[in-house]
Structure 1
Amino acid sequence: MHRRSLAGSLVAAALAVGLVVVPQSAQSAPRGNAREERVKVQAEQAKVASQINTNKASKEEIDEAIQALNDNLRSQEAALARVQEEVAQAKKDIADAEAAIKRLEEEVATLKAEIKRRAVHSYVSPPTDSALSVLETNDFVSASSRKFYLELRFQDDADVADRLDGALNDLDFQREKAEEARKTAEAKEKEQAERTDAVRAAKDAQQKLADKLQATINQQIERSVQLAATDRKLAKQIADEQAALVARLAAQQAMQRKAQADAAAQAAAQQSANQNPDGGESKPLPPVSGPTGGGTGTGGIPLCNAAGITLNCAIATQATNMLNAARADGVALSGSGYRDPSRQIELRQAHCGSSYYAIYQMSPSACRPPTARPGQSQHEIGLAIDFSNCSSRGTACYRWLAANAASYGFYNLPSESWHWSTSGS
């Protein structure tokens, strides 16, 4: 019943609102044009989808909204691509017609000049078929040949005249064709502008939903962090839901913010370079500085750098305090925190297998090493740290964290000595 609420209302509400940006060409399309009707309906569905209340919507409704917006963008881009091809074809028709006009005008000029030359020549030396011309030769056969030649000359002149008539007719046709192509190009360029606006509106609708999802995710993560000390079960549930939202938004973010994904990958590479495998106990180490801004991750996750570990800004301060406390006790902690959803997929491929089942459905414990499914990892929302020097429970890193991490809001996943998060998952 809940799934039906959004799907059933997408068309009805859109038709009631009537505020969708749809090209005039699509609005006025014949009823039989199923493709144009589909584009129009998808635009209407996307308009409603962009208005969804992400704070109250179910996962299924959010999935449907994202899908509606993605479908709309694809259909609008496809429609734009089609009209761009039609514009290009119309311009080619214009160019072809103009080239033909130029060629035919040259041919007409040449034919007219030839006809004029022949007329002058015929007036000065008119052809004759008199007996006298035949008798001018002593050879009848030769006289017959000359008569045939004269007949060919007359026939050639007629051919020239016919060719001129044909060229003039072709010239008129090409001029009409060029004018028709210009009208087509003008109409298609107008439609192209409308389609371009429709694509822009589709992207804006995607961004509107993405912004709302980002705000919801950030609010709920803050709530999860606040609840961690009093209700870890609820905190885990909220964090898991937000990780799933991030995964759902990842595909859309990848299309709209490829530059951000590249920046996140670059940050992850830099983060790996900052990792330090040394976890031995020694004298107190100098404290590290407070967290600094590190940009935005997929799903709008605000990222901060906490002593070389990229984390959600909501926990960056408590993580920095924990790292400094460990350093004061002679334990240098290092590792990795935030992980882009695409990186989580890569890890599942490496640790679990390359099939769809292995990546998205196989139990995390069946992977070597155990690896969370995409959309179920606290790393994807920056609430977990994998410490590089906690490979076992016997390390100084693990012993210190086991004794102290809880006071800073971090808990261990029992199956992984190196994995610590705000919910212990």
Structure 2
Amino acid sequence: MTSARARPPVGRRRLRLASALAAVVLAAAVVPLGAAGAQSSSPSDADLVRERAELKAKLVRENAARKDHQSTVLGQLEQVNVARGDVTEVEDALVEVQKLLVDQRAVVAEAELAADSAAKAVKAAEQRVTELNEQKHELRQQISDLIVQNYIGRDAALEGSLGLARTGDIYEAARIQTLVGAIYGDLRAAGDQLRAVQVDAEQALRELDAAEARAVLLVEASEADEADLLEITHAQVTLLEDVEERYERRLSEAAALEAIDAQLAQEIRDSEKQLVGVVAEQQRRERARIEAERRIREQRERERLAREGAAGRPSSRNIPASQLLTVRGITVHESIFVNLSNLLDAALADGVKLGGGGYRSASQQITLRRYNCGSSEWSIYQKRASSCRPPTARPGHSMHELGLAVDFTSNGRAITSRNTAAFRWLRANAGKYGFRNLPSEPWHWSTNGN
């Protein structure tokens, strides 16, 4: 009798056990981010800010040095009297501008590679954030399942063991202790994992911020290098036009001298022929370079199309109307309709009201290119997207034409800053719904980040 009175009722013991275990769950879920982060070997916020500042300073220094050299050379070229100057002096000018052009093309190529690499790093960081968010969700679900199954009486083995404990059997009591210990162990393990994943997720978001900032800096540097290349190209074209004009005038002079001094006339023709030979050689090399670049572009385009085909992306740029669906004013391809709808619902539930634009037809893309890139045929169809203001994909290369991209707005205005609540929400959550950001455009999100 005494032992029976000393033992609390099973229901009360179960309630006490459930409360104690629930407390363990809450303790495991509370993550001391500061303490855990202090032990991390990952770069701190200060480290990332310093790295970004150092990169920006390095890019500015390098650009300033190149710009200074370029200005010096171009300034010297302006002093050359192409019309009346010595042939050797004009030849030297042609060689100098060609050398400057070759050097700057190498700079642009290197800058483009760096920008592309930075864009890939952003995609990798976004993928990491998405994976960690998914892990957090799975761990929270795992903890929730443990509570439901083991602490509210839905675990049949534990339920039966608690019932048998009324007999006072020491072996059954030991069995219960073992089971409870296992439950605590599972919860501790899940809590430890959740804590670690939360710390990793915070760090991943910081590194994503840094990757995006780095990508923006490198894209801007690449665009500045391209602008310098255009300036040098313009100088070369002007010089070649002046040389051509000189050649025609000198031939006219030689023809006029023919009857008076045939030898002098021939000397003029010979000297000018030497100059024309330099021009012809430069033009030959330029044609060869353009042809080589064309072959490289075509090969890359074939590889890109092969990758996109393997990934199952719609290949047609003229999406049938039957494959387009609209949610809250945003028209997209049917394959992402559900994900977009869920994203908009989730954002609204968190107090972020999103809108925007999705699908654009090929004709709309051409109109946009004409407005942002220029009206010439080359500007519309060939000019690099990053050279437009703002950057705009070439017709046939835009994810909007596939219905797989959205330009988001918040409260009716484009998301132009990463320091807005809307962008921060998208950065933390859009990956769950299959959307990735284009680093140079805070508003632009697509299925592949392009």
User: What's the TM-score once normalised by structure 2's chain length?
Assistant: 0.45
Please tell me whether Structure 1 or Structure 2 has the larger radius of gyration of its CA atoms: 1
* Structure with larger RCO (C-alpha < 8 A, sep 6+): 2
Q: Which has the higher helix share?
A: 2
User: What's the TM-score once normalised by structure 1's chain length?
Assistant: 0.47
